[in-house]
Amino acid sequence: MTARDTADASARAAGLLDQAAARRLLQLWDDQQSAYVAHRDLRFEAMFDVLRLHCPDDLTILDLACGPGAISDRVLAGFPQAAAVAVDYDPMLLTVAQGALDRYGSRAEVRDVDLATEDWEKPLAGRRIDAVLSSTALHWLSPAQLLRVYTAAARLLPAGGVLLNADHLRYDGSAPTLSDIARRHDERVQEETFAAGALSYSAWYAEAARHPELAGLAAERERRFADRPPQALAPLEFHLAALRTAGFAEVGTVWQYLDDYVVFARR
């Protein structure tokens, strides 16, 4: 038995998801997210260009609402001296992230954190954070919660630290033609990607629940999010204004494709 086999057997005995299963679910997540986010890898590259050109080689990132670890995995693979603190509130996704990032050892840390609470950042106080990153996640927060998250992120970052948030930021009523084009483009991308075999969002969770280590967490996930309905997507202007209010000195965008943006803020 190899060392990897021994580690996977120990993980199963402890009720954890082994690395191979977690890496498979992370890949399936990336595939299904590509149906909802066109050119997803390009927006990641835009984010990482900022890190390469602005941050130290041994940077530590805070991955907000990390899901199964997509951003952290890419940063840890592409920045050999980097470390990542990945936080989420979904117990199923946290378990996948823990297994998927296990290959990076002490460079990766996964934490159960509820961004909707007022003091979510307290466990991270005093921790070195050079950049805060998030992808297709913060739209689940209400406007007030989003402002609190941005304000807390500003407190965690040193002078010169950056925040990068990649997400759909819908056009407002002043751009009906662009809104229609973006909507129809989303529909076309989803149709083509699902036809090529990608899972839908709900189908991914169904696949994940086939693993006994995750099936038992489905009820807890349901309980945690039962009183949190989807929020209306805020436009770009709201995010830029919220970041300024949160205390960031410079805000803007570093990438856009229709209504999909990477928002930038420097402390």
Within 10 A of 5 (CB to CB), how many other CB atoms are there? 11
For residue range 79-104, what is the model confidence (pLDDT) as tens digits?
999 999 999 999 999 999 999 999 99
For residue range 181-201, what is the model confidence (pLDDT) as tens digits?
999 999 999 999 999 999 999
Question: Does residue 8 surpass a pLDDT of 80?
Answer: no
Helix 91-100 vs helix 218-225: crossing angle, to nearest 10: 130
Q: DSSP characters for 49-110?
A: HHHHHHS-TT-EEEEET-TTTHHHHHHHHH-TT-EEEEEES-HHHHHHHHHHTGGGGGGEEE
pLDDT at position 230, please?
83
Residue 231's pLDDT band, with cuts at 50, 70 and 90, is confident
User: Average pLDDT for residues 201-212, to the nearest whole number?
Assistant: 98
- Give percent above pLDDT 90 in the chain: 88
* Residue environment code for 160-170, b if the CB has 16+ CB neighbours within 10 A, otherwise e: ebbbbbbbebb
| Residue 231 in tokens | 């929020």
Element (H, E) at 220: helix 218-225
Closest C-alpha to 88, from 109, 118, 58: 109
Domain boundaries, the chain: 3-266
| Superfamily of structural domain 3-266 | Vaccinia Virus protein VP39 (3.40.50.150)
Element (H, E) at 45: helix 40-54
- Rounded alpha-carbon distances, angstroms, from residue 100 to 66, 70, 131: 12, 9, 21
State pTM to two decimals. 0.93
